[in-house]
Amino acid sequence: MDVIELWSGGYACLLQSALRLTNEQFATRLGIAVRTVATWHSDTAVVPRREMQQLLDTAHEQAPETARRRFALLVAAERAPTASPPAGAQALRVAISVVVRDDKVLLVCRRADDSTGITWQFPAGVIKPGGKAENTTVRETLDETGVHCAVRQHLGNRLHPVTGVLCEYFLCEYLAGEATNTDAVENIDVMWVPRNAVTRFIPVDTIFPPVLAVLEEQT
């Protein structure tokens, strides 16, 4: 299991995500102010002081084994170099939203049944040149499903093993709205699916490992 030699705001946020804690719950576990956790989210490069480093060490050491595995996956994705499309690969970039609401995650069913074999997917949209992936994530989720969400964490990127498209993955929090198929041209259906049932809809070998980590049952 990875050892963090020096905690940053970003690593602290990854630990919070692995523990499945809100800002308030994470602050309570560490015995710190909620505004400190909020600062880590707004400035992931900040380096907490020595006392905070020790608190984070302890929280990591005392975390359940499943949470430690999730954390290791998230750290590995964070440390991985940014993927560059090889020669001949599509230059297309897509933002993918992993929107969670309690113990469920939002999925859409694509209308096209093409050669990729992909039907059920996470909400996604093409990132326009010069556009921000985070903005695309929020906008496309709303356009496709009627659900308002907020980006909580960047889970990493990769060339999709089926499509070859460069994908940017974001963990998002549900804010409001009923899940509805608001893009009938591209989609057949929209639904909330239990986290532990996602692999019944999407082949497990095509799901980005950090996404699998955040979809594990809460410990």
In order, the DSSP letters of 75-87 are HHHHHSPPP-PPT
Confidence class for position 1, pLDDT limits 50, 70, 90: very low
Confidence class for position 175, pLDDT limits 50, 70, 90: very high
The pLDDT of residue 112 is above 90: no
Highest mean pLDDT among 32-36, 125-129, 144-148: 144-148
The pLDDT of residue 131 is above 90: no
Q: State how far the alpha carbon of 5 is from the alpha carbons of 30, 57, 208, in Å.
A: 18, 9, 26
Other CB atoms within 10 Å distance of the CB of residue 205: 8
SS3 187: strand
How high is the pLDDT of residue 17?
Answer: 83
Q: What is the pTM of this model?
A: 0.59
How high is the pLDDT of residue 138?
Answer: 93
Other CB atoms within 10 Å distance of the CB of residue 81: 6
Q: Parallel, antiparallel, or unpaired for β 166-176 and 93-101?
A: parallel
How high is the pLDDT of residue 39?
Answer: 83
SS3 55: helix
How high is the pLDDT of residue 91?
Answer: 55
pLDDT digits (tens, 9 = 90+) for 35-93: 888 888 877 788 888 889 999 999 999 998 888 888 888 887 766 655 554 554 445 78
- Decide if 208 contacts 169 (C-beta within 8 A): yes
